Chains A and B, each alone.
Chain A
Amino acid sequence: MQRVRLEAVRKSYGPTTVLEEISLDIEPGEFLVLLGPSGCGKSTLLNIVAGLEDASGGRLLFGDRDVTRLPPDERDIAMVFQSYALYPTMTVRKNIGFGLKMRGEPAALVEERVREVAALLQIGHLLDRRPSQLSGGQQQRVAIGRALVRRPSVFLLDEPLSNLDAKLRADMRVELKRLHAESRRTTLYVTHDQVEAMTLATRIVVLEKGRIQQCDRPEVVYARPANRFVASFVGAPTMNFVEGRLEAAGDHAALRAGDGLIPLPGLAPAPGLKVGEPIVLGFRPEHVATASAGETGTVPGRVLMSEPTGPDLYVLFGLAGQTITARLPPGTDLPPQAAVPLRLDGAAASLFRPADGQRLN
């Protein structure tokens, strides 16, 4: 258990800035996920925490210890790489024990700890194999074992699941969650997969262009994205956006988009928002529902296409001149081109400023 603190950490390669003044406080035992598209700087940030790259500025503290200038092996960290980076010529046993051996631990202790970890990860029967004789999932376990065996105070994972197929990925996700729950080690986890981020994280840091866009609990990041980037990056299918002006319709707010009016019942009045102000409305597909004809507070939509996925039915609607996606219960009967009244859940809606995409409510 270790507190990790980043103070204005910067990174630039010559004139190119990769990370701008990142400050973060990671609580002891936290599972922090760095989420972002490729090239956002998340791996660079992880490498800086690991000590594999030097920060161009700022400080890095583990507890009270300033580790900014320490080499990786003196930071008391362990790391799992996307490619696993298992040593191809060593057996699983030697792979897992290599770090301890380099640290000068006695062979008996190394062996004991390797066995312990192998048992924990259920790879005891593989100890004498070489990485090339293992399946992808087994290699993944060995890579995790190699990190666990060192009992690091900070655990770093760089897209560890992205080389696995979908089924294995789901299994390993559960496994990682279990391991974290048991060991409560401070963990930093880099991924571009928002499902991994949502399921694993105690907090998510969304990165884009070297800046932190939002840092919060997964449900907050999902429900109240800090800006349009976060809103569109997190969630699949992606959030619907409709541009327009704020209006009042009876007792609730509404959005005037083109010649249509979208009522937003339940939208809490936000301070400083005035009627007539241009805004971008964001709402997730699950916050759209069909209504029966004649109900108030609805907006007419036209069915463009239906995509049944099994548990859900995704329907593309034309609405106020724009295309939106709705997530509806399966079995809803919607013939193409049918006109359907739709109700939006205003309480769950997000409003963004058109100029810079910042959240307004």
Chain B
Amino acid sequence: MNAMRRGALYLMLTVAALAVLFPLLVMLSTSLKPLDEVTNGSLFALPQDPTLDAWRKAWGSACISGQCSGLSVWFANSFAIVIPALFGSLALGAITGYALSLRSSRWSDLLFAALLIGLFIPPQVTLYPMIVLVREMGLFGSLPGLVFVHLVWGLAFVTLLFRNFFLSVPRDLLKSARVDGAGFLATFWYVLLPLSLPVAAVALVLQFTYIWNDFLLGLTFAGPGRQPVTVALNTLAGSQFGAQEHNVNMAATVIAALPTILVYFLSGRLFVRGIAAGAVKG
């Protein structure tokens, strides 16, 4: 009886796991097939004659927006966006979270509530005025412009993570630092920041995932040719014209998804810890 139950348990879990993995396996298998196998063979069939041709084409020579140099250009764009946006938003979120955690006036709790509500605002609501602002700053269609927009949209989430962590730090530690003569910044730098490394790692992993996966902001704010890989991928696979090379599309999809998947596997539990806090951010 017990053995049967356990068997059923593992069976259900394994079926569920296969169901989740199935689309990913299809993606991988399709990307390794030559085109005639894709059009004439079955979706379920494994590649008879595995080849990396589709990958090569997706990376180096597929035509996207009239530019036939493959996904590599856009992939590089994504990194150029992610890295400054990531560190900028972490720095801003950490210092803001720290200042809010001191709760030195009632305004700081008010600001925190205002930020928290900001997590739920759909980007469509503030998108157009944001375009106007970025244009007025002379940054529309440029990399710094898009980085700025990511900074704004990531602020609430990163601040939330850091603020809640810093609130959990014993108050005696801050008092002790004050007695030792450490001011606002010295306390942050020497005492709190080293302590917050685990949270910073969570923020890093999650923000990397969010910014890399962003589509809407990249679509709207990046100038032509500067869009992130998600936008390019959608252009490539979503174009309704001409014969679709599904194997190339799938290879491109794998390539676009690879960095965040890698980060996911490398980060382990960090992702799980942050995901609930950041789930509101879509």
Contact = CB atoms under 8 A, between A and B. Distances in A.
| Direct contact, A vs B (beta carbon within 8 Å) | yes
Interface of A: 47, 50-52, 71-73, 77-79, 81-85, 87-90, 98-99, 102-103, 146
Contacts of B178: 51-52, 71-73
Q: Which of A47, A52, A87, A99 has the most CB of B within 10 A?
A: A87
Contacts of B176: 79, 81, 85, 87, 146
Q: Is the interface of A mostly helix, strand, loop or mixed?
A: loop
B36 interface: no
Interface stretch (B96-104, B180-188, B245-253, B271-279): B180-188
Nearest to B197: A89
A4 to B, nearest CB: 16
B175 A81 contact: yes
Contact of B181 (A83, A84, A85, A99): A99
Contact of A85 (B173, B182, B190, B195): B173
Given A87-B191, A88-B195, A89-B194, A50 B179 contact: yes
A145 B40 CA distance: 79
The 4 tightest CB contacts between A and B, nearest first, are A73-B181, A89-B194, A99-B180, A85-B172
B170 interface: yes
Contacts, number: 58
Contacts of A81: 172, 175-176
A73 B173 contact: no
A89 B195 contact: yes
A307 B173 CA distance: 44
Nearest to A99: B180
Contacts of A50: 175, 179
Question: Which residue, B190, B194, B195, has most C-beta atoms of chain A within 10 A?
Answer: B190
A103 B182 CA distance: 9
A91 to B, nearest CB: 12
B190 A98 contact: yes
A85 B195 CA distance: 13
A110 B86 CA distance: 38
Contacts of B175: 47, 50, 52, 79, 81, 85
Given A73-B178, A79-B176, A85-B175, 20 more contacts: A51-B178, A52-B175, A52-B179, A71-B178, A73-B180, A78-B179, A79-B179, A84-B172, A85-B172, A87-B173, A87-B177, A87-B190, A87-B191, A89-B191, A89-B195, A90-B190, A98-B180, A102-B180, A102-B181, A102-B186
A106 to B, nearest CB: 16
Interface string B118-130: 0000000000000
B194 A83 contact: no
Contacts of B177: 87, 98
17 contacts: A51-B179, A72-B181, A78-B179, A79-B175, A81-B172, A81-B176, A83-B172, A85-B172, A85-B175, A85-B176, A87-B173, A87-B190, A90-B194, A98-B180, A99-B180, A102-B180, A102-B181
